Amino acid sequence: MTQNHTNRSVCLLFTCFFLASNIAVAASNYRLPGGAAKLDDPLIAAGYRALFTCSAHFLMDRPLHDILLVELADTTKLQLPIPEIDVSLGLVRAADGRGNEQIAAFRKTMGCTLLPPNWRTADIPRLPYVYRPMISDLRDLPYPQGDAADPRPNEHLQAVLDKAFDASSYGAGTLTVGIVVVKDGKLVAEQYRQGFGIHQGYRTWSTAKSISASLIGIAVRDGLMNLDHPAPIPEWAYPGDARSTITPKHLMWMSSGLWSEGSNTNAVYFGGQDVISGATGTPLEAEPGTRWKYANNDTLLLLRGLRHVLNDDHRYLRYPYDELFSRIGMHHTWMETDHLGNFIGSSQVYTTARDLSRLGLLYLNDGVWQDERILPAGWSKFVATAAPSLPRQQGYRGYGAQFWLLDQLPNVPEGTYTSAGNKGQYATVVPEHNLVVVRTGVDPAGAGWSQGQLVVDIVETFGG
């Protein structure tokens, strides 16, 4: 599928949408500025329920009764119909209670994709697809490349892990899914909530941004992208478009200056809107590089640029797997796309705590994995260096380049940085102690997790 074909498909889909006469309720939710939408909109909530149920069930083999209690807990108050899992067709249907239905379709190598509201099951063959080999049995291959590990935490470290699961010590009402601790390259501690395990994980939410940053790093390594040149966004390639001054570095720093509703891209995540229409059409509000604003669209634009410079949709769809996941043993990670084949890499990645620990190890080793350079030299330092538009403040998290900085929090070791995602997804790198700490969770809305304190407590168990 060529770039021109992709653009024609977008135009055709847009035209067909407006010609449709039987989806009036859904229409207002399909294409919204910046991809922003209210999460309590019943149609958006139904998309949320369809997508989460699909990925949790088909990728992670989790039962519907537990998905309702865990993944879908925040939508319970809306009293929507229970999602229906169709195992024979590999899809999930979720109704919004107003006559609309959201459908998420599963493909083994692609994970789950939410259909736009005007698509039906007959349209599923139109979804992008790429073959990749499934993993072999890795039980006898030692961690980190394989699954063989024998974590034996000392009693002090075990006590910290137990506290992480008590729903109070690191945040009232929090619900931990998994903890993995890697010290000096060895998996020394690991614990999971019932129903999860080394191959059963959860959505990364914004920890996906750090994964996407890694893909950009690989593109930089290979000369496909230059952080200081204009971002390769074809929708901005017109004379006089002020957005053409935005660079990939500005996007990495969350400093594009573009209008957005910040972390609200719910129409893209759960409404069936495509990434391109959601992320590329917003105007410039501030001079690039001068304003820090956390924005999902900045990450999505980085991946839009990656697709453009690759100029090969097959290569693009395989890129995370061929260039990153397969190389460092992240075999239980799926980077899901919209219906036009754009990675929703600001949030929509399904993975496991162990796979996130492998990502942390890659960064701890300055982008080298078993003597092979994956990320460009100095990339770890770049992502962990404060964005110029967000000055550091003692007692607060800082921001680097698609990673958060924790070392201004009380007692956190210098140089500590982390991915961070909604509901408590963290892959934290502690260079001073050659340590990686992963915590994944399904924290309910309003609950806050203290990853900095968890890191401090774990460091103390090693005599730090």
Q: With contact defined as beta carbons under 8 Å apart, do 292 and 253 qualify?
A: yes
Model pLDDT for residues 324-381, shown as the tens digit of each residue: 999 999 999 999 999 999 999 999 999 999 999 999 999 999 999 999 999 999 999 9
Residue 152 CB neighbour total at 10 angstroms: 10
The per-residue pLDDT of the chain, averaged, comes to 93
Q: Are 357 and 436 in contact (CB under 8 A)?
A: yes
- The dihedral region occupied by 93, where left means phi > 0, alpha psi between -120 and 50, and beta the remainder, is beta
13 — pLDDT class (breaks 50, 70, 90): very low
Q: What is the pLDDT of residue 5?
A: 40
How many whole angstroms separate alpha carbon 265 and alpha carbon 275? 9
Q: Cα(260)–Cα(374) distance, rounded to whole angstroms? A: 32
Q: The tokens 């959860």 sit on which residue? A: 202
So what's the pLDDT on residue 8? 36
Beta bridge partners of 284: 258
Structure confidence at residue 31 as a pLDDT band (50, 70, 90): confident
Q: Describe the crossing of helices 451-461 and 155-164 by its angle, rounded to 10 degrees.
A: 170
Q: Which helix (H) or strand (E) holds 67?
A: helix 64-69
- Cα(395)–Cα(408) distance, rounded to whole angstroms? 5
Confidence tier at 226 by pLDDT (50, 70, 90): very high
In whole angstroms, what is the distance from residue 97 CA to residue 102 CA? 11
Residue 295, Cα to own-chain centre: how many angstroms?
Answer: 13
Instruction: Tell me the pLDDT band of 135, cut-offs 50, 70 and 90.
Output: confident
Handedness of CA 434, 440, 441, 445 (dihedral sign): positive
One-letter amino acid identity for 112? C
pLDDT of residue 175: 97
How confident is the model over 66-70, as a mean pLDDT? 95
> 84 pLDDT exceeds 60?
yes
Question: CA-based diameter of the chain, in Å?
Answer: 67
Distances (CA, A) of 248 to 288, 296, 456: 11, 14, 33
How far, in Å, CA of 51 to CA of 91, rounded?
9
Structure confidence at residue 134 (pLDDT): 77
How would residue 6 be classed by pLDDT, with cut points 50, 70 and 90? very low
Is the predicted pLDDT of residue 16 greater than 70, yes or no? no
**84-110 mean pLDDT:** 97
Confidence class for position 138, pLDDT limits 50, 70, 90? very high
Question: Which of the residue ranges 22-31, 94-103, 119-128, 396-405 would you say has the lowest mean pLDDT?
Answer: 22-31
Confidence of residue 182 (pLDDT cuts 50, 70, 90): very high
DSSP string spanning 39-61? TTSHHHHHHHHHHHHHIIIIIT-
pLDDT of 3 > 70? The answer is: no
- The pLDDT of residue 136 is above 80: no
Confidence of residue 464 (pLDDT cuts 50, 70, 90): confident
46 pLDDT higher than 50: yes
What is the secondary structure of 439-462 as a DSSP string?
EEE-PPTT----HHHHHHHHHHHT
Query: What is the set of domains in the chain, with CATH numbers?
Result: 31-126 (no CATH), 155-204+333-461 (3.40.710.10), 208-318 (no CATH)
Kindly report whether the peptide bond that precedes residue 133 is cis, defined as omega within 30 degrees of 0: no
Whether residue 25 has pLDDT greater than 80: no
Report the sign of the C-alpha dihedral through residues 165, 167, 168, 172, in that order: positive
Q: What's the confidence (pLDDT) of residue 133? A: 83
pLDDT higher than threshold 80 for residue 425? yes
Query: Which of the two residues, 19 and 168, has the higher pLDDT score?
Result: 168
pTM for this prediction: 0.93
Q: In terms of pLDDT, which residue wins out, 26 or 30?
A: 30
Burial of residue 366, with CB atoms counted within 10 A of its CB: 0-12 exposed, 13-18 middle, 19 or more buried? middle
Among 255, 372, 173, 425, residue whose Cα is nearest residue 246: 255
- Report the distance separating Cα 282 and Cα 327, nearest Å: 36
The span from the CA of 275 to the CA of 269, in Å, is 9
Residue 18 pLDDT > 70: no
Residue 442 main-chain phi, psi, to 5 deg = -130, 50
> How many angstroms separate the CA atoms of 205 and 437, rounded?
17
Q: Is residue 285 within 8 Å of 317, Cβ to Cβ?
A: no
